Amino acid sequence: MPPPVTGDAAATRAALLDAARHAFTEHGYDHAGVREIADRAGVTAALVNRYFGSKLGLLAEVVADSFTVGDLLVGDRSTLGERLARYLVRPRSNGFDPTLLLLRSASSPDAGGVMRAAIAEQAVRPLAEWLGGNDARERAGLVMSVLFGFALSRDVLHTGPLSDGDAETLVAHLGPTLQRLMDGS
């Protein structure tokens, strides 16, 4: 447990957010307790309500910018599939991972709505705007579903070839698949 946070509202808030990111990633929304999060932050559980209103409010703050794809949209349109694939197969740290947070929390009646709204606003909408065209929303949604399906298979189900396969081979197959979806071909 970190040293207790005392007297500094910004530091307390940051410590709670960091603790929640890790707890939600490890256990999912439903299985991460407010007391556990507060203990990790070195504060009392009452401060979650004080700073975020509720555990759900804390989740909303955690995902407020967790699914942004803006940096990946910079560059040549013809290589976006490869950039997305490389992002997805990158080595994972033991800390905060928004994809794992989503996969472990999306089935929660409370957290699911927060997660869907964050993904729609931070990932699907910007990707659809960047893609353009009559069916851009649908193509962007399909791209996200492939990305999250890959992550589910690799990081939660630990499907052999996806979890222990060669990263370059995975990128070589996944990148063009994503690119075809985005190009509408």
Please indicate whether residue 67 or residue 18 has the higher confidence score (pLDDT): 18
Q: What is the pLDDT of residue 158?
A: 85
**Secondary structure (DSSP) of 87-114:** HHHSPPPSS--HHHHHHHHTTSHHHHHH
Packed helices 136-151 and 80-89: angle between N→C axes, nearest 10 degrees: 30
Distance CA 9, CA 58 (A): 15
Each residue's pLDDT tens digit, 97-122 = 888 888 889 899 999 999 999 999 99
- Reading the block at residue 99, the tokens are 């994809």
Distance CA 81, CA 57 (A): 34
Q: What is the pLDDT of residue 5?
A: 57
Q: What is the pLDDT of residue 6?
A: 60
Q: Is the pLDDT of residue 3 over 70?
A: no
Q: Is the pLDDT of residue 8 over 80?
A: yes
Cα torsion 103, 108, 114, 116: sign:
positive
Q: What's the CA angle centered on 24, arms 51 and 8, to 5 degrees?
A: 30
Q: SS3 of 165, please? A: coil
Residue 126 DSSP code: H
Q: Return the half-sphere exposure (C-beta side, CA atoms, 13 A cut-off) of residue 47.
A: 26
pTM here is 0.82
Is residue 182 within 8 A of residue 139, CB to CB? The reply is yes
Each residue's pLDDT tens digit, 122-150 = 999 999 999 999 899 999 999 999 998 99
Percentage, residues of the chain above pLDDT 90: 67
Residue 150, Cα to own-chain centre: how many angstroms?
A: 13
Each residue's pLDDT tens digit, 32-74 = 999 999 999 999 999 999 999 999 999 999 999 888 888 889 9
Q: What is the pLDDT of residue 18?
A: 94
Is residue 84 within 8 A of residue 143, CB to CB? The reply is yes
